[in-house]
């Protein structure tokens, strides 16, 4: 599960986004970026994202494929009270365990709505796969849960974000990967050769290249990532020497480089 | 490849987003929503999205898994001139074909930059898997391509969007799925029972339920999708009768319901 690609033990994760509305283009997924950043800061490497529709077998297959390959699998969506919320049954199927009203989840609702009878919707949201630990939902009550290495959360960003606060402390953390960016005022093609050589000489620094277009100017952001800041420093020094030699304008850039791919 | 889930022959597709920068949270993916909408309008059902890093084997494995399950696989990212652009080699590996400088791609560059010698970067971007058809890139020249049912495009949104204009006319289209939304001023739990019954009675209409939160109000968007508008009409009539019976405020809503999951 851990590898040493960038010079440190890496804790890996995958994200499974469950939602027909994202695949149809009706809704723009806002959760991937949020979770990606949070995991990155915690030293957990997000290695794959999948978006699948609200279909039990497709969710179960994806969960089983991902939970064997990655240390953690986080899921968002499909744990509400309606007929199209099938994530919990899919999780039960993936793990081969039963799903039943969970006394701890029932208690959450009873304490939140004292004196009210439990509606069928709340009863449905209290159904939890056997062997799971609950994840708190301070926003609207209905809990998420964690079963083995799979963490099941709501799709509504506000609720997912609150759940992540309860989830993060329970996860094994890696050494956070540091990142530095250099903005080069030259097209990608002009730095390609230098970057390839640099990457060969610095195998433990992940060197990424991202073109940008601003009005009439084109340029390249070079992003260097490693858990070891000294290794990044050494690579950046060499990158700068190359850029000076080639007469290319450049400057250290903000970490937040672009809003689109 | 085609199924009849919502009452019409369905042409399916998957999207493979290739980009370490999205997994690390540095860049917010903007391509999925754009492609999802475009395919939806063309009657092509996007059934899965995957995001994987710029690692040859992971790209090849994902391409092979997806191209067998779906009518089309679209990919974005990783076809630029730098060392971290490994999509083309991954596609060659996935199909078991060679990758070589393509005379048609070389000609694109020669016509775009007459008299200029071909830089190593452009030569790299002219490498195309054997048997592929080129996809035009009017923005920056470097072509995408289509090999069997896999369409390989750039990750930069402006270029991907231009490529999609060349790609769409070549794809088999399905019957576009129509969509209507009803806004209900009641929490999801209160409509859950009615919606489940409605879904059972209208198996060829896909009925989705999406909660919303506005200041102190909570409510539910009910989205009905089908290739057959008469079937949607029949289901909506029954939905309205249910909502009137239960005394729940409701109104037909804009198609564009929410910006986040």
Q: Are residues B136 and B194 in the same domain?
A: no
Q: Is A27 on the interface with B (CB under 8 A)?
A: yes
Residue B240 falls inside a structural domain:
yes
A20 contacts chain B (CB < 8 A): yes
Burial class (CB in 10 A: 0-12, 13-18, 19+), B200: exposed
Range of the structural domain that residue A230 is part of? 178-253
pLDDT of A248 reads: 94
**pLDDT tens-digit map of B229-244:** 999 999 999 999 999 9
- Say if residue B86 is in the same domain as residue B203: no
Q: Is B57 part of a structural domain of the chain? A: yes
Contact B32 A37 (CB under 8 A): no
Check residue A255 and give its pLDDT.
57
| Whether the predicted model's global pTM rises above the 0.95 cut | no
Residues A30 and A55 in one domain: yes
Beta carbons of A22 and B28 less than 8 Å apart: no
pLDDT value, residue A10: 84
For B:42-81, CB contacts with A below 8 A are 45-54, 58, 76-77, 80-81
> Which of B170, B202, B232 marks a domain boundary?
B170
Coil, strand or helix at B158: helix
| Same-domain status, A154 and A207 | no
Q: Which of A5, A22, A27, A212 to mutate to test the interface with B (most CBs of B within 10 A)?
A: A27
B85: alpha, beta or left? (left if phi > 0; alpha if psi -120 to 50) = beta
Number of other residues whose CB lies within 10 A of the CB of residue A126: 23
Residues B72 and B115 in one domain: yes
Rg, Å, chain B Cα set: 22
Q: Are residues A43 and A87 in the same domain?
A: yes
CB A206, CB A5: distance < 8 Å: yes
What is the pLDDT, as a whole number, of residue B10?
83
Regions in chain A scoring below 50 on pLDDT: 1-8, 259-261
How many CB pairs lie under 8 A apart between chains A and B?
Answer: 242
The residue among A170, A189, A214 that closes a domain is: A170
Rounded Cα distance, A77 and A61, in Å: 16
Count the neighbouring beta carbons within 10 Å of the beta carbon of residue B50: 24
Question: A155 and A121, same structural domain?
Answer: yes
Encode chain B (261 residues) as per-residue pLDDT tens digits: 444 444 446 899 999 999 999 999 999 998 999 999 999 999 999 999 999 999 999 999 999 999 999 999 999 999 999 999 999 999 999 999 999 999 999 999 999 999 989 999 999 999 999 999 999 999 999 999 999 999 999 999 999 999 999 999 999 999 889 999 999 999 999 999 999 999 999 999 999 999 988 777 889 999 999 999 999 999 999 999 999 999 999 999 875 555 443
Residues of A in contact with B23 (CB under 8 A): 36, 45-49
- Answer yes or no: is B258 within a domain: no
Residue A6 lies in a domain: no
Pull the structure tokens for residue A53: 């529709």
Are residues B237 and B160 located together in one domain of the fold?
A: no
Tokens linked to A216: 């009439």
Mean pLDDT of chain A: 92
Give the pLDDT confidence of A36-59 residue by residue, as tens digits: 999 999 999 999 999 999 999 999
Q: Are residues A139 and A191 in the same domain?
A: no
């Amino acid at each position: 599960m851990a590898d040493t690609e960038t010079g440190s033990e890496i804790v890996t994760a995958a994200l499974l986004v469950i939602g027909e509305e994202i695949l149809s283009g009706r809704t723009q997924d806002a959760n991937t970026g949020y979770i990606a950043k949070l995991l990155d800061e915690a030293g957990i490497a997000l290695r794959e994202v999948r978006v699948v529709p609200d279909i039990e077998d497709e969710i179960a297959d994806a969960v089983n494929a991902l939970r064997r390959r990655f240390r953690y699998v986080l899921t968002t969506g499909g744990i509400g009270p309606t007929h199209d919320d099938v994530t919990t049954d899919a999780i039960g199927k993936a793990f081969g365990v039963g799903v039943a009203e969970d006394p701890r989840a029932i208690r959450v609702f009873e304490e939140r709505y004292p004196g009210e009878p439990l509606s069928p919707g709340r009863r449905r949201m209290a159904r939890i796969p056997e062997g799971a630990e609950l994840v708190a939902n301070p926003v609207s009550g209905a809990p998420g849960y964690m079963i083995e290495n799979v963490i099941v959360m709501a799709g509504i960003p506000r609720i997912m974000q609150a759940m992540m606060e309860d989830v993060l402390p329970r996860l094994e953390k890696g050494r956070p990967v540091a990142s530095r960016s250099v903005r080069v005022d030259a097209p990608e093609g002009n730095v390609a050769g230098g970057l390839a050589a640099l990457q060969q000489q610095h195998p433990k620094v992940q060197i990424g290249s991202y073109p940008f277009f601003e009005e009439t100017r084109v340029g390249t952001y070079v992003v260097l990532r490693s858990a070891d800041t000294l290794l990044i420093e050494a690579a950046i020094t060499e990158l700068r020497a190359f850029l000076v030699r080639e007469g290319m304008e450049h400057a250290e850039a903000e970490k937040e480089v672009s809003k689109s791919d």
